[in-house]
Amino acid sequence: MSDAVRLDLHVHSVHSPDSGLTLEAVVGRLSYGGLRGFALTDHNTVRGHAALAELASKYTAYLFLPGVEVSTREGHLLAYGVSEAPPVHRPLAETVEWVRAHGGEAVPAHPFRWTHGVGRAVAERAAVPALEARNGHNSEIANLRAEELAARRNLGATGGSDAHALDDLGRAYTEFEPTVASRDDLLEAIRRRAVQPGGKSMPLAGRLRLAARSGLLRVRRGFRSI
């Protein structure tokens, strides 16, 4: 897209059990990655939404999209534009309906990741407007599979870094039309499939470091999954 507006649609903050990112730190880094904003998608919580609203009033040049990464029975789902967290560990189809009933849009997160992805069978039939086709923590193969499936199903394709640390922010992103100017515009663009993913996948060495870090954090959580 010419003159596209880039947002990172998958960012975690201190309100996720596996992230130490503050929202102020994220905002301070946006311009370095050519980003005009981001979606806050903490795991199963909206505790950061009040602070996100304060940022929106303070940094009017940026766009901020409230969201949640919710754990469904089949895998993780990004819920954009909701003001409360969906119930966890419900069937994905039921959670998608809940998100839409609450004014949001649902996008399966990293559908082809071995851990927490919904997998091909579910991604083939999910009644969603888009798939996350470029995730900054995924392998290139997993991202290409998601992109191919989105294209074949005539769905939108989004991108997000899955950032838990500042170095990851903007590794992957979503491009919107230059006319977007509000939360509602962003949701409508996802709904209309007027989005395009960009950015990089993560090489094997990075994924191995990430897996080691995730394993350590899981031990600290008493082996509770997210």
Q: Contact at 8 Å (CB) between 186 and 104?
A: no
DSSP state of 129: S
- pLDDT digits 0-9 by tens, 70-101: 999 999 999 999 999 999 999 999 999 999 99
**Sequence-distant (≥ 6) Cβ neighbours of residue 174 within 8 angstroms:** 6, 7, 8, 9, 158, 159, 160, 195, 196, 197, 198
Closest C-alpha to 117, from 130, 96, 132, 136 = 132
Say what the pLDDT of residue 209 is: 74
Provide the whole-model pTM.
0.92
DSSP state of 151: H
Say what the pLDDT of residue 178 is: 97
Which amino acid, 109? A
Tell me what the mean pLDDT of segment 180-193 comes to. 98
Say what the pLDDT of residue 218 is: 57
Say what the pLDDT of residue 21 is: 95
Helix (H, G, I), strand (E, B) or coil at 49: helix
pLDDT surpassing 90 at residue 194: yes
pLDDT surpassing 70 at residue 205: yes
pLDDT surpassing 60 at residue 215: no
Question: What are the tokens at 25?
Answer: 């730190």
Closest C-alpha to 159, from 190, 119, 183, 188 = 190
Domains, the chain, in order of start with CATH, read: 5-220 (3.20.20.140)
| Residue 105 CB coordination number (10 Å) | 25
**Residues forming a β-bridge with 177:** none
Tell me what the mean pLDDT of segment 93-116 comes to. 97
Q: Contact at 8 Å (CB) between 31 and 3?
A: no
Burial 122-151 (b: 16+ CB within 10 A, else e): bbeebebbbbbbbbbbbbeebbebbbebbe
% pLDDT > 90, the chain: 85
Long-range CB contacts (within 8 A, 24+) of 213-217 = 214/18, 217/17, 217/18
Helix (H, G, I), strand (E, B) or coil at 106: strand
Average pLDDT, the chain: 93
**What is the phi/psi pair of residue 137, to 5°?**
-105, -5
Listing DSSP states for 141-178 in one string gives HHHHHHHHHHHHTT-EEEEE--BSSGGGTTSEEEEE-T
Confidence of residue 132 (pLDDT cuts 50, 70, 90): very high
Q: How many residues are present in the chain?
A: 226
For residues 140 and 179, give the distance between their C-alpha atoms in angstroms, rounded to a whole number.
30
Of 11-20, 126-135, 178-187, the range with the lowest mean pLDDT is 11-20
For residues 35 and 51, give the distance between their C-alpha atoms in angstroms, rounded to a whole number.
19
